[in-house]
Amino acid sequence: MKGIFLPRWLIFCISFVLVGGLGYLIFYLSKRQLGFKKGLKEIEEALVEIKKIEEREKEAQRLREKFEEEKKKLEERLKQH
């Protein structure tokens, strides 16, 4: 009954290929998942930078408005004198 369906060496080769392929698939998917997490982290860092830039823009706008108010006050003083 030895080797009725497939020779023993062929069964070992097929099982080796299946185990190797399964290991590669697990490695590939885990590496892909890590890349996905890394990409999310970079996106979160970029969003934090964008928020910082928006805050700076708001501060600059506030300073511009303050400057315009001071400019109007000085112009009014010049007109009065």
Confidence of residue 29 (pLDDT cuts 50, 70, 90): confident
DSSP class of residue 64 equals H
Share of the chain above pLDDT 70, in %: 94
| Structure tokens that stand for 77 in this block | 């003083």
Tell me phi and psi for residue 35, to 5 degrees: -65, -35
73 vs 81: CA distance, rounded Å? 13
Q: What is the pTM of this model?
A: 0.51
pLDDT digits (tens, 9 = 90+) for 33-72: 777 778 888 889 999 999 999 999 999 999 999 999 999 9
